[in-house]
């Protein structure tokens, strides 16, 4: 049963009882060699063969064994059901649902060796669901602006009023921390019910039309780094990569899942955004210290 589960997890198709197929690649052959050896060590018998198709008809027959349409359709139905419920859930619950469904989606994609129309429909449904979750967790998420990022002096931005959308999430809380820690230590913040409510004397961030918001591929935190010359700090760049991954996706960052869980839990406990920023600032201080120490170790060749 253990080996059967392993074969299923690798996406093997069943030709008949005891005969499993995988499209050829060196990596997949290596995996099956390891399973074959393990079966032998456990007292069983396994043979690993390369079996090229005789003709196009047989090739099509073999490919059809790997059809994932039913799995994709089941996932699409699950996404539709989940979409109806996330609006009434807490941030922690929504984050948990998103993580579980992301794993389900990525599991199917990993073993879909011949993606077709069903894969396209599932990808569209997945992106739609992620966008819906974003609107629940972060209403009014900004669109990326197409403009140059100007170099600014920290000295010109002291003792200012900064404003962003209320119910902080990752990019906004990290940006507020960055502002108070590295840009404007005497900054005061306004948490807006709507971007339209931003006072004329306030510096807006992380909403459409704000002084600092998404530009191109960069999220607001990364735009602030570039604007104030903070992108020469490798620890802040690593924080930026984590914020980017959590805000708009992208390359995986190992620390992101833990930070996201802490963020969701802190938001549940906080009575308002001042408390939320106060609760998350020590976490971001600790993350920055961790990345700084890691970068120092990397520079001296003393990697942990």
Domain locations along the chain: 2-64, 69-137, 154-299
- Do residues 107 and 101 lie in contact, with contact meaning Cβ atoms separated by under 8 Å? no
pLDDT tens-digit series, residues 21-64 = 999 999 999 999 999 999 999 999 999 999 889 999 999 999 99
Mean pLDDT, residues 65-84: 94
pLDDT tens-digit series, residues 95-110 = 889 999 999 999 999 9
Q: Is the pLDDT of residue 278 over 60?
A: yes
Distances from the Cα of 298 to the Cα of 232, 287, 293, 304, angstroms? 16, 16, 9, 9
The pairing of beta strand 19-21 with beta strand 13-16: antiparallel
pLDDT tens-digit series, residues 238-268 = 999 999 998 888 788 899 989 988 998 898 8
For residue 268, the Cα-to-chain-centroid distance in whole angstroms is 21
pLDDT the model gives residue 297: 85
Q: Is the pLDDT of residue 222 over 90?
A: yes
| Angle, in degrees to the nearest 10, between helices 170-178 and 256-269 | 90
Q: Annotate 42-95 with three-state secondary structure.
A: CCCCCCCCCCCCCCHHHHHHHHHCCCCHHHHHHHHHHHHHHHHHHHHCCHHHHH
What CA–CA distance (Å, rounded) separates 292 from 286?
10
> Ramachandran region of residue 38, left (φ > 0), alpha (ψ -120 to 50) or beta?
alpha
- pTM for this prediction: 0.61
Q: Is the pLDDT of residue 302 over 70?
A: no
pLDDT the model gives residue 63: 92
Distances from the Cα of 134 to the Cα of 74, 139, 242, 246, 296, angstroms? 23, 7, 17, 11, 35
Q: In angstroms, what is the C-alpha Rg of the chain?
A: 25
User: Of the ranges 121-135, 147-161, 270-284, which one carries the lowest mean pLDDT score?
Assistant: 121-135
What CA–CA distance (Å, rounded) separates 43 from 60?
35
Mean of pLDDT over the chain: 91
């Amino acid at each position: 049963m253990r080996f059967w589960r392993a074969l299923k997890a690798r996406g093997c198709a069943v030709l008949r009882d005891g005969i499993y197929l995988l499209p050829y690649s060196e990596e997949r052959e290596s995996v099956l060699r390891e399973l074959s050896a393990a079966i032998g060590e456990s007292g069983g018998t396994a043979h690993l063969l390369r079996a090229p198709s005789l003709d196009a008809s047989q090739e099509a027959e073999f490919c059809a064994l790997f059809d994932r349409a039913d799995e994709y359709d089941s996932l699409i139905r699950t996404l539709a059901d989940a979409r109806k419920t996330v609006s009434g859930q807490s941030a922690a619950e929504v984050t948990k649902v998103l993580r579980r469904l992301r794993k389900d989606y990525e599991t199917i994609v990993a073993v879909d060796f011949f993606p077709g129309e069903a894969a396209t429909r599932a990808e569209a449904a997945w992106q739609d669901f992620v966008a819906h979750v974003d609107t629940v967790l972060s209403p009014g998420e900004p669109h990326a602006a197409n403009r140059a990022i100007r170099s600014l002096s920290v000295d010109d931005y002291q003792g200012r009023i900064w404003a962003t959308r209320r119910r902080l999430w990752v990019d906004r809380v990290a940006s507020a921390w960055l502002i108070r820690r590295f840009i404007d230590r005497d900054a005061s913040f306004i948490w807006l019910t709507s971007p339209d409510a931003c006072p004329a004397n306030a510096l807006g961030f992380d909403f459409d039309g704000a002084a600092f918001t998404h530009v191109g591929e960069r999220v607001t935190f990364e735009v602030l780094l570039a604007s104030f010359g903070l992108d020469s700090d490798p620890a802040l760049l690593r924080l930026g990569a984590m914020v980017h991954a959590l805000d708009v996706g992208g390359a995986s960052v190992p620390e992101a899942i833990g930070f996201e869980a802490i963020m969701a839990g802190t938001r549940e406990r906080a009575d308002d955004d001042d408390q939320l920023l106060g609760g998350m600032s020590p976490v971001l201080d600790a993350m920055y210290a961790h990345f700084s120490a890691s970068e120092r170790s990397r520079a001296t060749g003393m990697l942990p």
